[in-house]
A and B are shown apart, each in its own frame.
Chain A
Amino acid sequence: NAGVMQNPRHLVRRRGQEARLRCSPMKGHSHVYWYRQLPEEGLKFMVYLQKENIIDESGMPKERFSAEFPKEGPSILRIQQVVRGDSAAYFCASSPQQGLETQYFGPGTRLLVL
């Protein structure tokens, strides 16, 4: 029973490039959450998605960031024209239903912007 999968685990980008982070939820889970964790800081909610729908993106920066969760395939967090301040760990979590106790985290993608 595979857990939440994220890839890549580490990603290095130069300023101005695009970063694409992928998340495959646990089998049977249709709800996906993306979080960002900066060094010495807590997890910050970014976006909550269900298949083909963005439910809540109030934590997403207004520019350069977007997320999708298509009918087929993984959820993708896309960061365009990355800047050094985007360097962080990005975690995906999935649950079979909204919230509650069954939110499981993936291993994270560590993004480094040079």
Chain B
Amino acid sequence: QKEVEQNSGPLSVPEGAIASLNCTYSDRGSQSFFWYRQYSGKSPELIMFIYSNGDKEDGRFTAQLNKASQYVSLLIRDSQPSDSATYLCASLTGNQFYFGTGTSLTVIP
């Protein structure tokens, strides 16, 4: 069983809509969770991290964590074409980061 699982997509949303990206994890000992954005051919960039149950907002981005369900999500409000990228979910368990395979998002102008 993979540590972190994501729907690979692709996910398409129209410009201005809300994009919802989901992630589940298998290890209840995971301490923190991260969302990275990766443009094609580029390195991952950290968007947000979360370690407490509930919501965490930063600008147009909201991360949600539900430890009981072992579920993490990222909402992108007012999606822009520049948000088109692959979004990687990651968990920190002990010394290791475990990454999902990523969800490809396309925002259609």
Contact = CB atoms under 8 A, between A and B. Distances in A.
A61 interface: no
A42 B100 contact: yes
Nearest to B101: A42
B43 A91 contact: yes
Interface in B90-107: 90, 92, 94-102
Chief secondary structure at chain B's binding surface: strand
A103 B46 contact: yes
Interface residues of A, number: 24
Given A42-B88, A103-B46, A104-B46, A48 B96 contact: yes
Given A43-B99, A45-B98, A100-B92, 16 more contacts: A33-B97, A42-B4, A42-B99, A44-B99, A45-B97, A91-B44, A99-B31, A99-B92, A100-B32, A100-B49, A101-B34, A103-B97, A104-B46, A105-B36, A107-B42, A108-B43
Interface of B: 4, 31-32, 34, 36, 42-46, 49, 88, 90, 92, 94-102
Interface of A: 33, 35, 40-45, 48, 55-56, 58-59, 91, 98-101, 103-108
